[in-house]
Amino acid sequence: MKFITNDINFLRGKKKTPTFKVGVFYFKFTILLVKLISVRKLIILLFLFFVYKTQSQQIATLKYKGGGDWYSNPTALPNLINFVNSSTKCGINKEPQTVSLNDNAIFNYPIVFMTGHGNVYFDDEDVRKLKNYLISGGFLHISDNYGLDKYIRKELSKVFPKEELTEIPINHPIYHQTYDFPNGLPKIHEHDKKEPKGLGIFYKSRLVVFYDHESDLSDGWEDQSIHNDPKEIREKALKMGSNIIEYAFTN
């Protein structure tokens, strides 16, 4: 214990310098403290990295009432997610979920995707839940798979009776994320020889619903063997889909 006594005497001013043993003690103690702090920091960093990797964002497909085929284009969303994860900094769970409007789990998904060819029906509870979801920060992307238009317009008017679907200007940020679309929404499949339109509903200046009409955007996300689309057409569809996701995550 001599080095401790010497150290106490040094602190009391009885010695001008600590002994060699005191110096060794402090040196070893300092090294140990640094190691402990470093290990603690390393554990924290590893924990944060693990949390970041495991808490990826999720996207869900909307299962709606009315008899329409909400389940159409089953390969579309998984393909889009793979494209987004490989080409942007977005981290999305590679397995999209399915959610209904009567399920509170809808609030777990920052983006909900909706498509189909036929009838759509929102009852009063669906209307209330969808509106709450959207005004609370959620985002709905509707892709008209040809045949959805006349039904979805009616149901959206229940959700936002004072708002109408309006054409989104081509200078809107949704067309200018990682990928630039100076002419707006791309045309993927031809049906009625009409121009593709990106329509939307805004709530307090925030775009909460994006509706791709006369584009068939989600068809372009499907496996190439399904529609035999040329590579450049599929790339346009995937890039526009990526922009939609990127915009929704950051606005």
Q: Tokens at residue 240, please?
A: 């526009």
Least confident piece of the model among 28-37, 55-64, 71-80: 28-37
Q: Is the pLDDT of residue 22 over 60?
A: no
**Beta strands 59-63; 111-116: pairing state:** parallel
Domains contained in the chain, number: 2
126 with 219, same domain? Answer: yes
150 with 202, same domain? Answer: yes
Distance between CA atoms of 218 and 81, rounded to whole angstroms?
A: 12
6 with 63, same domain? Answer: no
What is the percent of the chain with per-residue pLDDT over 90, rounded to a whole number?
A: 69
117 with 187, same domain? Answer: yes
DSSP 169: P
84 with 19, same domain? Answer: no
Residue range(s) defining the domain that contains residue 143: 56-250
Q: What is the pLDDT of residue 36?
A: 61
Least confident piece of the model among 38-42, 76-80, 196-200, 203-207: 38-42
More confident residue, 120 or 7: 120
205 with 129, same domain? Answer: yes
Q: Is the pLDDT of residue 237 over 70?
A: yes
- pLDDT, tens only, 119-142: 999 999 999 999 999 999 999 999
22 with 75, same domain? Answer: no
22 with 97, same domain? Answer: no
Distance between CA atoms of 95 and 77, rounded to whole angstroms?
A: 9
47 with 169, same domain? Answer: no
225 with 140, same domain? Answer: yes
CB neighbour burial string for 143-157, b if at least 16 within 10 angstroms, e if fewer: bbbeebeebbeebbe
37 with 139, same domain? Answer: no
The 10 Å Cβ neighbour count of residue 66 is 15
Q: What is the CATH number of the domain that holds 93?
A: 3.40.50.12140
46 with 76, same domain? Answer: no
Question: Read out DSSP for 39-106?
Answer: HHHHHHHHHHHHHHHHS-B-EEEEE-BSS--TT--TTHHHHHHHHHHHHSS--B-SS-EEEETT-GGG
- The residue among 29, 53, 77 that closes a domain is 53
Q: Is the pLDDT of residue 152 over 80?
A: yes
Name the pLDDT band for 41 (thresholds 50, 70, 90). Answer: low
Q: What is the pLDDT of residue 58?
A: 93
What is the percent of the chain with per-residue pLDDT over 70, rounded to a whole number?
A: 78
Q: What is the pLDDT of residue 90?
A: 86
Q: Is the pLDDT of residue 218 over 90?
A: yes
pTM value surpassing 0.75: yes
Q: What is the pLDDT of residue 34?
A: 55
Q: Is the pLDDT of residue 66 over 50?
A: yes
